[in-house]
Amino acid sequence: MNVTYESTKQETPAAVESESPTTPGAGAIMRTEDLNVFYGTFRAVEDVTIEFADREITALIGPSGCGKSTVLRSLNRMNDLIPGARVEGGVFFHGRSIYEPGVDPVEVRRRVGMVFQKPNPFPKSIYENVAWGARINGFRGSRSDLDDLVENALTQAALWDEVKDKLNESGYSLSGGQQQRLCIARALAPSPEVLLMDEPCSALDPIATLRIEELMLDLKEEYTIIIVTHNMQQAGRVSDRTAFFSVDVDDRGQRTGKLVEFDQTEKLFTSPSRKETEDYITGRFG
Amino acid sequence: MSETRSAFHQEIEDLERTLLGVADQAELMVRKAVAAFTEGRLDLAQQVIADDDEIDRTYLEVHNRWMNLMALQQPVASDLRQMSMLLHMNTTLERMGDQCVNISKMALATEGLPRVEVIRERLQEMSDLVRAMIRAGIESVVRRDADEARLLPAMDEPVDRLNRNMYQEVVSAGPDPKRLEWATKAMMVSRALERVGDQVVDIGEQLAFLLTGEMAEFDDVGFSDV
């Protein structure tokens, strides 16, 4: 069953206008409220409340096991695909819970797309890789319309000029950086509003990484981007806001992720408010 | 959990220790330079000029090490603010050395001229105040004490006042052209000491930035009565 969300141009909720560091100044397109994610009985993240501003880039950083990827996957219900995964608390997209009954997770993932750590093109042509994204989301247009959509997505992903003469060649024929941009084009094809990126550059060389970062800065004109990265310099270069997650370890050695600090990226990297953030980003404790 | 960037942090601490050593040296240079001028000690003037060559060498060395750390380590948060303080300290201390050279050149230029006792006393007073400021500045940095740093403008206020009053002292020096020539040069010495006082306040402001994360000039308590 499909579900309709309210327009992105809705009135800014009162809560968004507060000066809280966890609150973006612009309108929030997504937010979590006391989000807890469990894998079986294991609580992976605890009570995460955060808002993601429309057409901004938000970076999620923190040590391994802090739950940042878990939070990211909860934003388009990718955790549903993991047996035993369960969510408590809320994830809201345009003010509506994406976990409430009647919400179609496929529609959620169309509106909130995802790019993964390793470039993962399908064993198909460059053209088909992009067209697939549109087709599985019910694209009904003509071949010419599909051609336009593929060109548009590849152009937005800054790949068109490099592949326009070899659209029928395999996606695997491209370099790693090009493959990742192909995956971004595939994610853009269904016209999402939010793009989730899970360490999208960790398998790429520095030049390919910088190209993806430039692309992200272009894409934020039209999309909201939420990126998980282990590279703090990358968070500094691309993001408007940064959320720092850390891990609590209980008496039994159980590790639970938590949101420690969320602020403007400049503020977080020059004068973080929390000592845990300071210690982590300066490498005093790791 | 353990320190993961110890080599980097040790290098920052080394840089800071080097600069605190330069600050010690600057304090000594102020004493020597003012004594050179007020007592006609040309040997001290020559020492200060040689000392400044050493400060200039250290300035270049610190600058290169600072650039390397920025390029290779990309400091953030309090590390970045500490680097900001060290960059300012390096520039400020190098300029303090230059001011001491200026004073020493006045000493060399006034060789054999009669000195004016009251002006000598005022310059000595300014020298004592400025050196106390440098020591307080060093202490506040070593102890990471923003409150002590915030006292620097109040310590600078009498320096500014003595500098503003120096013109009157010069006018009162009398009609003797030689005494007047010495007194005129004393005004330039006074101005150099006033600049050193301001430079110490700058270091205090950088320390406060390091400790609070907020960059702001300290209130200039002496400015209102200009």
Contact B77 A285 (CB under 8 A): no
pLDDT tens digits for range A219-230: 999 999 999 999
pLDDT score recorded for residue B138: 97
Judged by DSSP in three states, B76 sits in coil
**What residues in A contact B213, CB-CB < 8 Å?**
270-271
Residues 4-33 of B with CB under 8 A from A: 4-5, 8-9
pLDDT category of residue B220 using cuts at 50, 70 and 90: low
* Most B-contacting residue of A264, A271, A273 (CB-CB within 10 A), to test interface: A271
Q: Is the pLDDT of residue A285 over 80?
A: no
pLDDT, position B174: 82
What's the pLDDT score for residue A286? 54
Q: What average pLDDT does the segment A210-222 reach?
A: 94
Q: What's the whole-number average pLDDT of chain B? A: 94
Asked whether the predicted pLDDT for residue B224 surpasses 60, the reply is: no
**Residue A236 to residue B76, Cβ atoms within 8 A:** yes
Non-local (6+) Cβ contacts of B79 within 8 A are A282, B8, B9, B12, B73
Q: Is B70 on the interface with A (CB under 8 A)?
A: no
**B216: contact with A, CB 8 A cutoff:** no
Q: What is the pLDDT of residue A2?
A: 44
Per-residue H/E/C for chain A? CCCCCCCCCCCCCHHHHCCCCCCCCCCEEEEEEEEEEEECCEEEEEEEEEEEECCCEEEEECCCCCCHHHHHHHCCCHHHHCCCEEEEEEEEECCEECCCCCCCHHHHHHHEEEECCCCCCCCCEHHHHHHHHHHCCCCCCCHHHHHHHHHHHHHHCCCHHHHCCCCCCEHHHCCHHHHHHHHHHHHHCCCCCEEEEECCCCCCCHHHHHHHHHHHHHHCCCCEEEEECCCHHHHHHHCCEEEEEEEEECCCCCEEEEEEEEEEHHHHHHCCCCHHHHHHHCCCCC
How many whole angstroms separate alpha carbon A172 and alpha carbon A181?
12
Using the Cβ of A236 and the Cβ atoms of chain B, whether some distance falls under 8 Å is answered with yes
Q: CA-nearest residue of chain A to B209?
A: A271
Task: Tell me the pLDDT tens digit for each residue of A258-284.
Answer: 999 999 999 999 999 999 999 999 998
A200 to chain B, closest Cα gap in Å: 22
Q: What is the pLDDT of residue B219?
A: 75
B224/A contact by beta carbon, under 8 A: no
pTM: 0.83
Q: Give A-chain residues touching B79 at CB under 8 angstroms.
A: 282
Q: Is the pLDDT of residue A10 over 90?
A: no
Region A183-208: what's the mean pLDDT? 94
From chain B, pick out residues whose CB is under 8 angstroms from the CB of A236.
Answer: 76
Interchain proximity A284–B76, CB inside 8 Å? no
Highest mean pLDDT among A14-18, A20-24, B58-62: B58-62
Query: pLDDT tens digits for A134-187?
Result: 888 788 889 999 999 999 999 999 999 999 999 999 999 999 999 999 999 999
State whether A283 and B78 contact (CB < 8 Å). Answer: no
Question: Is the predicted pLDDT of residue B45 greater than 80, yes or no?
Answer: yes
Closest to A282 (Cβ–Cβ): which among B2, B77, B214? B77
Whether the per-residue pLDDT at B149 is higher than 80: the answer is yes
- Residue A52 near residue A194 (C-beta atoms within 8 A): yes
- What ipTM was reported for this prediction? 0.76
